[in-house]
Amino acid sequence: MPTNNLEEVLAKCDTVIVCVPSAYAQGVIESVDAGLWTGKNIVSAIKGVLPDSNLLLNDYLANLPSFDLDRYVAVTGPCHAEEVAYERISYLTFAGLNDTLTSSIADAFRNTYIYTTTNHDIWGVQYAAVLKNIYAVGAGMAHALDYGDNFLSVYITNCYREMHRYLQAHFEKVHPSNERPDFHTSAYLGDLLVTCYSLHSRNRMLGTMLGKGYSVKNAILEMNMVAEGYYAARGMQHLSAKYGIEIPIATAIFDVLWKGNLPSDTFIELEKVLS
């Protein structure tokens, strides 16, 4: 039975799927006693960093008593909800450290039109999801500014290069002794492509409105939907500085979203550095 009583839900279940926008996740989690989260399997479909802490969900949950990272699974696309509703073939990646749990969660989501795969890269798939939303805002700006497909293909290529560099550098800083994941798979590259190209993409839609002259405030109000790239852009600035990994394209999009830079001026500058 559907309910909005989170305490009741947590008391009766062993697995929780967290799919609220990142901006509200911390408030939802803190709305109940922290002990109620103890011993739960957490499946995160959040595609952003928590704006109050600039942390991925698992890093935030690590501050709760008895949080067990082995019980955490991150789910990523490429998988727009609209196409799932139409039962179009889609793919999900589930990342977790516990192979048994991760596989069982993936099996629960698999059906005739959803294919699933698993890996161990909890941090990488989540950071890829955060970054691709920022880049998709830029893709929308480029589209609205009448840049063509040729430019967009080069823009996305450079975005992927930047994403790959960030993921690789972060992995080497945090997990230097572990085997590096394959970043050329759908959880990383595929999710970036669909978010930048698809008309279903809320982040691309936000960028399109900004490129047409909307203010950030008015664009967000008129969309009446959450574009994760807005908060993600700010969060990644903190994380980039924290880990000492430069992300100049994401920074350029941040400057539009949070500093008031004009999309047109931003892309004139990007033209000069993309290759």
- What confidence tens digit (pLDDT) does each residue in 63-74 have? 887 789 999 999
Contact criterion met (CB below 8 Å) for 181 and 70: no
Q: Does residue 243 or residue 64 have the better pLDDT? A: 243
| pLDDT of 91 higher than 90 | yes
- Nearest in space to 129 (alpha carbons), one of 266, 19, 53: 19
Range from 27-31, 44-48, 64-68, 134-138 that averages highest in pLDDT:
134-138
Position 176 confidence tier, pLDDT thresholds 50, 70, 90? low
Query: Which residues belong to the active site?
Result: 132
**142 CB-side CA count, 13 A:** 26
Contact criterion met (CB below 8 Å) for 237 and 254: yes
Domains and CATH numbers, the chain: 6-119 (3.40.50.720), 122-273 (1.10.1040.10)
* Average pLDDT of span 95-122: 96
- pTM value? 0.94
Position 177 confidence tier, pLDDT thresholds 50, 70, 90? low
CA dist 71 and 264 (Å) reads 45
- The per-residue pLDDT for 123 is 94
Phi, psi of 181 (to 5 degrees): -70, 165
* b (16+ CB within 10 A) / e for 77-107: bbbbeebbeeeeebbbbbbbebeebbeebbe
CA distances from 21 to 103, 227, 231 (A): 25, 9, 10
CA distances from 20 to 38, 74, 131, 259, 268 (A): 20, 14, 18, 27, 36
| pLDDT of 264 higher than 90 | yes
- The per-residue pLDDT for 1 is 64
CA dist 122 and 125 (Å) reads 6
**Which residue carries 């600039």 as its tokens?**
54
Contact criterion met (CB below 8 Å) for 91 and 190: yes
Axis crossing angle, helix 248-259 with helix 202-211, rounded to the nearest 10: 60
Rg (alpha carbons) of the chain, rounded to whole number: 19
Tokens of 174: 């945090």
- The per-residue pLDDT for 73 is 98
| pLDDT of 258 higher than 90 | yes
Q: What percent helix, strand, coil does the chain show, rounded to 5? A: 60, 10, 30
| pLDDT of 175 higher than 80 | no
